Structure 1
């Protein structure tokens, strides 16, 4: 699948830098938007819907963030899904290798396509972006 607009929802600025570098070095050109917590990302989606803009094609979501964490983001997203005219692909990319988190991701199988561990690898990028 071809992605154009991507939301990166993660409070780690170093991760923002690394994801930009990985994408650029693999000639993946996207419109990237960075959000430091789930609340501003949800607001970003709502804002796009209200303006009649296309919501993101892809969301790379961290779990552990301040204000609204990844799980809370997913709960809010479930409430919004019906207002969105397309499916948004969501991948969790987290430093948590905890079985509880991986199992909890399965509770969101309608929303979350897959779960990747940080640090994100070139293999994960290739898998997500089908290159």
Structure 2
């Protein structure tokens, strides 16, 4: 994969479509809990869960039970905050301010379109070149 490009907040296009990372990696609801626990790290804090093209929700370390096994499906947050490609960039910024989110799913209807990603300093959007 190519190097990440950072788009400073003051240079961001008017809508989420201009700053979203396309082709975000996803997992299915049948992913084992043990695999989800192993995925999370200080840099990896969000799983996007889909069933085919249909967005089911997100999973964070806080959503996981401390022990047990089985699939992640019952633990997926179907009501996770999200934005649409047509939303203004300010909508994503509001989620950063209100929820402390640095990774935000971009969903149109029930389809995952991508993800908004902020760098660690929250001063730029991160995307991969197409």
Shared fold (TM-score, shorter chain, > 0.5): no
**Structure with more of its chain in helix, by fraction:** 1
TM-score by length of 2: 0.27
TM-score by length of 1: 0.27
Higher relative contact order (CA 8 A, sep 6+): 2
| Higher strand fraction (1 or 2) | 2
